[in-house]
Amino acid sequence: MQTTDEVNIRAVNQDDVERVSMLEQASFNDPYPSYFLSELARDNPETFLVLTLNNEIVGYGVVDHWEDHDHLISIAVRPDSRRKGLGEALLVELEKRLSKERPLRLEVRQNNSAAIQLYLKRGFTKIGLVEGYYGDVENAIIMEKRLVKETLVES
């Protein structure tokens, strides 16, 4: 990134859903349909984030709140903006917005080594495998991170 690039992470709004959907299509072989992304945006106003670079959406991430855990549904960065720390910045911001009492889980394609490395770097551990999880029958690795409360240490 050039030093003049302006990166911003903000909550999604319904006007963003079409651009998020195009990003989803460009990023995944089995993309979520736009109506599902729209529902996620409506249901998760605090944990559906977009990342803009010079006011253009180049990434997004969404965490949904399930009964016993928070679930990273999807995170994506436009192919021409990858490997610049933007996905990690999104993940860090999402984690800040979550309850520290609940684990954060996700599924990731077994062959997506870049994503797996990012999740390991951010403190996720592999807790399972689902065979044939994806539409093309690729396996999914289930990963989890226990978020911890940040406590102030008095000296």
The pLDDT value given to residue 1: 46
151 pLDDT band, cuts 50/70/90, is low
Number of H-type helices and E-type strands within the chain: 4, 7
What is the per-residue pLDDT for 24? 93
Q: Give pLDDT tens digits for 12-39.
A: 998 999 999 999 999 988 899 999 999 9
- Please write the tens of the pLDDT for every residue from 58-93: 999 999 999 999 999 999 999 988 889 999 999 999
At 4 the pLDDT is 64
Parallel, antiparallel or unpaired: strands 125-130 and 103-109: unpaired
Q: What is the pLDDT of residue 2?
A: 47
Percent pLDDT > 70 in the chain is 93
Q: What is the mean pLDDT of the chain?
A: 90
The per-residue pLDDT for 145 is: 95
Per-residue model confidence (pLDDT) at position 29? 85
Least confident of 2-11, 33-42, 43-52: 2-11
Report DSSP letters for 97-123, one per residue. TS-TTSEEEEEEETT-HHHHHHHHHTT
